[in-house]
Structure 1
Amino acid sequence: MNTLNGLTTMVLTAEDVDSAARWYADLLGVDPYFRRPESGPAAYVEFRIGPDEDELGLMDRSYAPGASGPGTSTTYWHVDDVEATLADLLAHGATTHEPLIVRGHGFVTASVVDPFGNVLGLMHSPHWSGRH
Structure 2
Amino acid sequence: MLRGLTTVSFRAADLAAAKSWYTELLGVEPYFQRPGYVEFRLGDHQHELGLIDSRYAPAGTDAGPGGAVVYWHVDDVSAALERLLSLGAAEYEPLTERGPGFVTASVTDPFGNVLGVMYNRHYLEMPATRG
Is the TM value for this pair above 0.5?
A: yes
How many pairs does the alignment contain? 123
Q: Which residues of 2 match residues 36-47 of structure 1 at below 5 A? A: 36-37=34-35, 43-47=36-40
Gaps of 5+ in 2: none
Check if 1:5 corresponds to 2:3: yes
Deviation of 1:67 (Å): 3.5
- Taking structure 1 as the reference length, the TM-score comes to 0.89
User: What SS does the aligned partner of 2:18 have?
Assistant: helix
CA RMSD of aligned residues (A): 1.3
Residue deviations 1:53-74 (CA, integer Å, cap 9, x gap): 1100000011112348xx7111
State the match for 2:41 in structure 1: 48
Q: Partner amino acid for 1:26? A: E
Which of 96, 105, 112 matches 1:117? 112
Match of 2:88? 93
Q: Would you identify which runs of 4 or more consecutive aligned residues in structure 1 move more than 3 Å?
A: none
Cα separation, 1, equivalents of 2:8 and 2:48: 6
Out of 48, 72, 79, the residue aligned to residue 67 of structure 2 is 72
**Percent of matched pairs sharing the same residue:** 57
Normalization by structure 2: what TM-score? 0.89
Unaligned runs of 5+ in 1: 38-42
